[in-house]
Structure 1
Amino acid sequence: MHENETGKTGSNKEIVVDVAIIGAGPAGLTAGYLLTKAGKSVAIIEKDATYVGGISRTVEHEGYRFDIGGHRFFSKSQQVVDLWNEILPDDFIQRPRMSRIYYEGKFYSYPLRAFEALRNLGLWRSAMCMLSYGKAKVFPNKNVRSFEDWTSNQFGKKLYSIFFKTYTEKVWGMPCDEMSADWAAQRIKGLSLWGAVVDGLKRSFGLNKLNDGSGKQAKTLLETFRYPRLGPGMMWEAARDKIIATGKGQVIMGHALEQLASDGKGGWRMTATAEDGSRQVIRAKDAISSAPMRQLAARMHPLPETTLEASNLKYRDFLTVALMIKSEDLFPDNWIYIHDSKVQVGRVQNFRSWSPEMVPDEDVACVGLEYFCFEGDGLWSMADDDLVELAKKEMDILGLVSPGKVIGGAVVRQEKAYPVYDEDYAANVDAMRAELEDKYPTLHLVGRNGMHRYNNQDHAMMTAMLTVENIVAGERVYDTWCVNEDAEYHEAGNEGAEKTLPEGRKPVSEDQAAALNSVRDVPDRVAADKKKAA
C-alpha cells in the first residue's frame, strides 16, 4: 500500500491498494481481514464516523450497550465458525436461547405450543379458536392468494388474527391480504394447529424421540447460542483492529462513497467524502461493494445502463428505542414479539439476556423497543425525545413497566435494514448483476445490501469469503450468488455440522453452501394476476 499526491489543492493523498472496499460491515470486514492475511493491501471506507459492523454493530450510550436487531452467533458452516474463533478467540460466552410472544398481558412460547396457547387465551376464546379452526378445515378457502388466506386455512381465522396478522404487518409494512401465499407456505411450512397439538402430547409423555433407535430428541430450535460478551460489535471492532495491525489495511471512518469510477483498464478510482467536505481518493485493481445496490448504481461512473432498475429497489428500515429502567429484569427472554395492535412496537429486546456485560448497573434493566418503519415516515422522522416518550407510553400500555421507573433513553436508527422483495425486485437485481459481471469482472458485490438479499450474518460473511478466493485466484472460481431458498431453518441443527470438502474448483463446497443456504425469505406482494382472479 502506498500513497501518491493527487495534485489537487486541498485534497488528501491518493491511496493505492490492491482492493478498495465499500462498507465496514460483516461482509466488508471479513473480506478485508482475509485479503490482508493473503498479502493483499486494502482500504475500507465506512460512512459511520464511530462504529463498524453495520447492522451488526454495538452502540454504546453512557456505558449501556445496544445490539441493533439481535445477533445470535450460530452457523452450520465450520469455515465461518473457525473465522469467528480466529478473530475473537477469548470473548465468546454461551447464552440461553429464549424468545416468546406477548399478547394481552401473557407470554406464549415461540414457536407456539398448542395447549399453552389455548390455556392462556381462556375458555371462551379458546373455544372460538377451535371452532374457527374446525371451520377452516371443513370449509377451506379454495382461492388461496395471500398470506392471510393461507394462514387462516392452516390455523383458522381467529388464531391467525391473534398470532400472525399484527406482528407480520408491523414488520413488513403491508397488509397480510397483500402478501403472497407462497411466502406464507415457505415461512410456516409444515406447521399446523394439529401438528402443534401432537407435538405437545409427545413432549408431555417424553415421546419426542427420533425413530432411529438412537433415543435422541428430534431436531428443534437451538437452546443456547454463542455471543460476544460486549455485543456483536466486539467481533467487528476486533476484525478492524487486526486489519490495521497487518500494516496492509486502512479503515477510513466517516467517509461515504461519492463515486466509483472505472479507470478504463479494469481497475477503479474510488472517491469518498466526509461530512466536512474533505475527500479521500483510492485507486485499486479490484473493488468490493457492500453498499446498497441502489446507491452503488447511482454513484458509478459511467452510470450503468441498469441504473433505472437499481433505483427501483426498496428497503424496510427500523429503529431501536432503548430504555433504562430502575427495576429488576422484566423478563428472561433475549426478545419478545409484541402481537398487540394497541401499540406500534414490534419487538422488545432484553440486553442483559444477551450478555450481562451489556448493562453496567445490576439494579437497572435495559430494554430495546424495535419499531419497523420506512425512512422518512412519521416514526423515522420523530424527534428522539418524542420516541423515548412513545416507548415509555407503550411499555405502560402493555403493562410491562410504568413510565416513572424509566431513568433514561436513547434512540438508534438503522436505515436499509431489510431489502424489500416486491414483484419487480428479482428482475431489477438480475439486470444489474448481469451488466456488472459482464462489464466489470473486478467489481464484486457482497453482503445483504450489496446483493439485495435478506440474509444472515454468516451468509454475508460467506459471500465475502468466496469473493476473496476469487480475487486471489484472479478469476471467478466461485459463484457467490448460489443460494438455496428452500433451506432448513437456520437455527436448527448443529453448529459447524457441515465440514469443508477437499480443495477443488466447485461452484461451492457443502460447507460453504451451509452458510449460503441460510438465506431468509421476505414476503412478495400478491401478483397482479392473482388479485385480478380474486
Structure 2
Amino acid sequence: MYDGAGCGLTTAIIGAGPAGLTAAYELLKHGGGSHRPLVFEAGEIVGGIARTESHEGYRFDIGGHRFFTKVGEVEAFWQEVGGADFVTRPRQSRIYYEGKYYAYPLKIFNALGNLGPFRAAGIMASFARSRLRPYKEEENLEQWVSNRFGRQLYETFFKTYTEKVWGIPCTEIRADWAAQRIKNLSLSKAVWNALTGANDTASLIEEFQYPRLGPGQMWERCTEKVRERGGEVQLRTAVTRVLRDGDRVTAVETEGPEGERRTVEADHFVNTMPLRELIEMMDPPPPDEVRAAAAKLKYRDFLIVTLILDHPDPFPDNWIYIHSPEVQVGRIQNFRAWSPEMVPNPDHASIGMEYFCHEGDGLWESTDEALIAQAGRELEQLGLAKASTVIGGKIIRQPKAYPVYDGEYRAALDTLSGWIDGLENFQSVGRNGMHRYNNQDHSQLTAMLAVKNILGEHHDLWTVNVERSYHEDFTTEEKTKRQEQGPMNGAAAVPTR
C-alpha cells in the first residue's frame, strides 16, 4: 500500500487526459511545494481523446483539436507548457451535401451557387417564418436550431450530420447541447460574416494554433514537466475501485501493467473517468437513486480509419463534414493541413476517416481490413481519391468519446452532481468526468478550478461552459455589467459557489 508518507498532501488523479494532467500541473505550480499529484492512466499514451497516435511515422489526431480559446488562464497554460511547439494554422473546412462542397464558414456566393436562387429564397423565407412564429419552448435540438436558422436550413445542414454523429433523432437531443456547442452563431450573423469577412464567433474562427506534432505533444510536454517537479504519471495503470468512508474518499485501488494491485491512499481525489464507470467502482456503493441515475447516462463511441495514400493531399482542408447519408463516414481529416510534420513523406497523404458508432455494433466489430477497405471506397465515392491509391492504414477505436444529451441525461446528471458535491475531498472534472460535451479548454478550466478548491477556494465546477456569457444570446449590456463586477480573464468570469 502506498500512502504518500513524507510528501505533504497527496492528490490522486484518475486519468491523464487534458483535465487530469492540467490538475497535476496546476497543483505543482500553485501548491507551494506541499502538494504531490499521482496520476493513474489506464492507457499507454497520455492525452485521452486529445492524444496523438502514430503508425509507421505518420501521426494523427483522434478527433481534431484546435488550440483556440477565450479562456485566458487556459491560453496562458498552453503557452507556458507547449508554446514553443505551436504553429499557427489557417482554418479551412467544407461541408459535403447532395454531391456538392460548401465552404464553411459560409461563403455567400459559393452557398448561393450550390443551392440555387429558388432554394436560397426558400431558406430565407423559412428563416423569416421562424422569426415570426418561433417554437415557444426549446426542448430539443430541432426546435433550438429551427428558431435560429429556420426549418429549411436546419433540414439542409444540421439534421443529417447531427443524427449521423449521435445515432438518435434530433428531437431526442436536448437543446442545451446546441446552446453549448453552437455558441454565438445565428443565420444573420453567419450571412454578415460571409458578406463582410467579419468573424466574431467561437464556431467560425479562421486560424488557430496547433502543436507541430499533434495535440498529444502538449500532453507529452505536460507529463514531462509534472514528473520533473516531483509528480507521478503512471501509464497502463487502471483505477478499479474507489474506497470511501461516509462522505470522505480514502483511497483508490489500481491494477498495473503486470496485473499487480495496489491500494493508494490520498488526501484529495480528482476524477476524469466516465461517471457511469466511476459510480460502479465506488465502495461502498452510493445510494440506489445515484446508481440508477448513473446507469441512465449514455455515450456515443467513435473510430477513426487513417489511410495512407500513394500521392500528395487530395484536398487542402483541415477537415470536411460529410452530411451525405449515402456513406457512413462523418468527417474526414487531412493531417498535413493540421501540421506538415504530421506526415513524414511529402509524396504521400495521411487522411483520417471518422466514423460515429456504438461499441459492439457492426461498424465497431468490423475487422481492420474491412474498415480500411470501406474507408477507401467511400473516399472514392466522395470524389476525393481513388481507393486503389490506399497503401496502408491504421484503426483506432475510442469508446465513450461523446456524452449523449438525451431526454434522461439532465435529471440523472443533477442527481449525480449533487451526490458528488457532497463528498468532502473528491471532485470530478473534464468531459466524461462531468458528462458534458466540453471542448478541451473548458475541460481544463474545470481542472484548474478543482485545484483552486483543493487550495482553499470555493468554485462550482458544474457551471463551467453553461454560464450566460457562453451563450449566443448573452447581451452587450449583460457583458458590460459582468465586466464591471470583476475581471473575466479573457473569457467568462470564473464561477463561484
Is the pair's TM-score, using the shorter chain for normalization, greater than 0.5?
yes
- CA-to-partner distance for each residue in 1:190-228, whole Å, 9 max, x for gaps? 633x7655655x43xxxx6xxxxxxxx563532211111
- Report what 1:383 is aligned to: 367
**Deviation for aligned residue 1:4:** 6.7
Cα gap change, 1:319 to 1:33, in 2 (>3 Å):
same
For 1:51, which of 25, 38, 45 is the aligned residue?
45
- Report what 2:438 is aligned to: 455
Q: How does 1:502-517 map to 2 (within 5 A)?
A: 510-511=488-489, 514=492
Runs of 4+ in structure 1 deviating by more than 6 angstroms, as ranges, are: 138-145
For 2:58, which of 60, 64, 78 is the aligned residue?
64
**Deviation for aligned residue 1:27:** 0.7
**Deviation for aligned residue 1:155:** 5.8
- The one-letter amino acid of 2:216's match is G
Secondary structure of the structure 2 residue equivalent to 1:41: strand
- Report what 2:291 is aligned to: 307
Q: Are 1:111 and 2:98 an aligned pair?
A: no
**Deviation for aligned residue 1:466:** 1.2
- Does the aligned pair in 2 maintain the 1:57–1:236 contact within 8 Å? yes
Q: How does 1:276-287 map to 2 (within 5 A)?
A: 276-287=258-269
**Deviation for aligned residue 1:162:** 3.3
- CA-to-partner distance for each residue in 1:302-324, whole Å, 9 max, x for gaps? 11111221121111111111001
For 2:217, which of 227, 234, 237 is the aligned residue?
234
- The one-letter amino acid of 1:29's match is L
- CA-to-partner distance for each residue in 1:357-387, whole Å, 9 max, x for gaps? 0000000111101111122222112111111
Secondary structure of the structure 1 residue equivalent to 2:462: coil
For 2:234, which of 252, 256, 261 is the aligned residue?
252
Q: Distance in 1 between matches of 2:437 and 2:61?
A: 18
Cα gap change, 1:410 to 1:353, in 2 (>3 Å):
same
- Report what 2:252 is aligned to: 270
- CA-to-partner distance for each residue in 1:452-474, whole Å, 9 max, x for gaps? 1111111111111111121122x
- Does the aligned pair in 2 maintain the 1:286–1:443 contact within 8 Å? yes
**Deviation for aligned residue 1:427:** 1.8
Cα gap change, 1:218 to 1:136, in 2 (>3 Å):
closer
- CA-to-partner distance for each residue in 1:329-358, whole Å, 9 max, x for gaps? 111111111121110111001100110000
**Deviation for aligned residue 1:259:** 0.5
Q: Are 1:477 and 2:458 an aligned pair?
A: yes
- Does the aligned pair in 2 maintain the 1:257–1:270 contact within 8 Å? yes
- Report what 1:87 is aligned to: 81
Q: Distance in 1 between matches of 2:179 and 2:440?
A: 24
139-148 or 394-403: bigger deviation: 139-148
Cα gap change, 1:94 to 1:308, in 2 (>3 Å):
same
**Deviation for aligned residue 1:78:** 2.1
For 2:158, which of 151, 154, 164 is the aligned residue?
164
- Report what 2:316 is aligned to: 332
Q: Distance in 2 between matches of 1:113 and 1:291?
A: 40
Q: Distance in 2 between matches of 1:223 and 1:135?
A: 28
Cα gap change, 1:148 to 1:83, in 2 (>3 Å):
closer
**Deviation for aligned residue 1:120:** 2.3
290-299 or 256-265: bigger deviation: 256-265
CA RMSD of aligned residues (A): 3.3
Q: Distance in 1 between matches of 2:191 and 2:403?
A: 35
- CA-to-partner distance for each residue in 1:237-274, whole Å, 9 max, x for gaps? 11111111223x21111121210102569452211114
Q: Distance in 2 between matches of 1:412 and 1:218?
A: 35
- CA-to-partner distance for each residue in 1:36-93, whole Å, 9 max, x for gaps? 2322112111110x21010010001110111111111112122211111221242111
- Report what 2:350 is aligned to: 366
- Does the aligned pair in 2 maintain the 1:94–1:226 contact within 8 Å? yes
- Report what 1:8 is aligned to: none
- The one-letter amino acid of 2:488's match is E
- Does the aligned pair in 2 maintain the 1:92–1:229 contact within 8 Å? yes
Q: Distance in 2 between matches of 1:461 and 1:477?
A: 17
Q: Distance in 2 between matches of 1:188 and 1:472?
A: 32
- The one-letter amino acid of 1:401's match is A
- Does the aligned pair in 1 maintain the 2:52–2:217 contact within 8 Å? yes
- The one-letter amino acid of 1:423's match is G
- The one-letter amino acid of 1:458's match is D
Secondary structure of the structure 2 residue equivalent to 1:413: strand
- Does the aligned pair in 2 maintain the 1:129–1:156 contact within 8 Å? no
Cα gap change, 1:82 to 1:375, in 2 (>3 Å):
same
Q: Are 1:74 and 2:98 an aligned pair?
A: no
182-191 or 379-388: bigger deviation: 182-191
- Does the aligned pair in 1 maintain the 2:88–2:209 contact within 8 Å? yes
- The one-letter amino acid of 1:93's match is V
- Does the aligned pair in 2 maintain the 1:101–1:339 contact within 8 Å? yes
Q: Which runs of 5+ in 2 are unaligned?
A: 473-479
- CA-to-partner distance for each residue in 1:103-161, whole Å, 9 max, x for gaps? 3443211133343222124x5xx424534654775698877876456656766666444
The structure having more radius of gyration, on CA atoms, is 1
Cα gap change, 1:29 to 1:389, in 2 (>3 Å):
same
Q: Distance in 1 between matches of 2:55 and 2:100?
A: 31
Cα gap change, 1:427 to 1:235, in 2 (>3 Å):
same
Q: Distance in 2 between matches of 1:107 and 1:435?
A: 48
Q: Distance in 1 between matches of 2:11 and 2:189?
A: 52
TM-score by length of structure 2 reads 0.86
- Report what 2:386 is aligned to: 402
- Does the aligned pair in 2 maintain the 1:43–1:282 contact within 8 Å? no
Secondary structure of the structure 1 residue equivalent to 2:315: coil
Q: Distance in 1 between matches of 2:493 and 2:391?
A: 41
